[in-house]
Amino acid sequence: MTPDRPAGRRRRTVDEHRAAVRDLLAPLAELPAEELPATAEALTRDPHRFAGRVLAVDVTSPIDLPPFRNSQMDGYAVRAADLADATDRDPAVLRIAARIPAGRPAAPLDPGTAAPCMTGAPVPPGADAIVPIEAATPDRFVDEDAADATVSFRAPVDPGAFVRAQGSDLAAGSVLVAAGTRLLPAHLGVLASAGVARIAVRRRPVVLLLSTGLELRGPGEELAPGQVHDANSVALAASLQDAGVEVRALRVASDDADRVRDALRDAARGVDLLVTTGGVSAGAYEVVRDVLEGGGVEFASVAVQPGGPQGLGTADLGGARIPVVAFPGNPVSALVSFELFLRPVLRRIAGRAHADRPSRELPLAAPLDSPAGKHQVRRGRLDADGRVVAVGGPGSHLLHAYATATHLVHIPAGLERLEAGDPVTVWSIDD
């Protein structure tokens, strides 16, 4: 049996509970780094392992970028002095030297010669400009082995024209990618361009997601009378992964405290955070509360609807103290709790530039009532005029209505009635 719970305590405000979650999880931002291979083969073999990773230390470039002078386009490598007097009536005629493909070293260029030079190929010593092929006569490459093969140019060229200087993108020893950078494709590309094969990234927090209840069955399992499919573990696992953590899901279809305690002890090794759903209220079978209360986890009521019952603290699981965030078991309550309290914290830890949902004020399409003293979070969509239309009612079981919503609609504590046209704060959740 669940022991009597203390009653009459002041409810926490939403802001107070958000701050408490943020403070509890602050150490997760200081997890040790791990090393990853930065190759296309590794990326394609396990894409999830690389998604959204944050660099742990500065990476300096071991080489100049580009590492040598190279041609910006297909053309002829020349000495600008050889074309100084070129005109339409009196073009400069140069003997064609050996062709320079990309990936091959280039021999020095003799005066009075022009070397066909492909895009990205080294500009030969002695050359100081590239003339695009279309500015030459003929305007196509000819066989340099042909006897007396020549090419004509009808205008001067500036020294440095169409030549990419060595180190013009970045000098060796400069910071290539800074610590704290969330690695996007361009960052991985520039690391590869400098020959960096392994990188140190912040380790993702490992989250154990526990769902409990004798009534729970997995998707695809047949339901007996009184049983329901476990929607919370699927929805929260997806939400947690999207927030940038590694997730281990544990479902214990039981209301027996000893069984849940044993399952937690076995599953908690190597875990940085325990997130639970269900069993946190004041009913007769609140197994999560029975297992965790009194050992460092506090269960309290937050002035929010849905999602009032919440748990927070640390627990000794498998010989280590692990932070615990406990959500209610109703599906909408669990998802709203995640959005309000956990998602922004985890996204900041993951190095996301925008930890919070996009927020704006929009007018209501119809009146809404809200319970006294509570911050209510309704689900909504926008109509053709950009007004907020509530989707479903305030009930915490209306998961389908949540799934069709595009916004969370916030009605602060102290407002019990809003009329059509009144402004409300909405968070966009359809990204």
Question: Are 59 and 191 within 8 A, CB to CB?
Answer: yes
pLDDT for position 86: 97
Largest Cα span, the chain: 104
378: β partners: 409
Domain extents for the chain?
A: 14-27+204-349, 43-64+168-202, 70-164, 359-428
CA–CA separation, 261 and 250 (whole Å): 12
Take residue 105 and report the two structure tokens written for it: 């070293």
Q: Which CATH superfamily is domain 70-164 in?
A: Molybdopterin biosynthesis moea protein, domain 3. (2.170.190.11)
pLDDT for position 3: 39
Task: Give residue 106's identity as a one-letter amino acid code.
Answer: A
CATH class for the region spanning 14-27+204-349? alpha beta
| Residues of the chain under the 50 pLDDT cut | 1-8
CA–CA separation, 66 and 172 (whole Å): 10
pLDDT for position 426: 98
- Label residue 351 left, alpha or beta by phi (over 0 means left) and psi (-120 to 50 means alpha): left
Name the pTM for this structure.
0.84
Q: Which fold has domain 43-64+168-202?
A: Molybdopterin biosynthesis moea protein, domain 2 (3.90.105)
Kindly state the helix (H) or strand (E) to which residue 24 belongs, with its residue range.
Answer: helix 14-25
Q: Which CATH superfamily is domain 359-428 in?
A: MoeA, C-terminal, domain IV (2.40.340.10)
pLDDT for position 7: 43
Q: Give which of 200, 202, 178, 180 is closest to 190, Cα–Cα.
A: 178
pLDDT for position 414: 93
Kindly state the helix (H) or strand (E) to which residue 336 belongs, with its residue range.
Answer: helix 331-337
pLDDT for position 147: 67
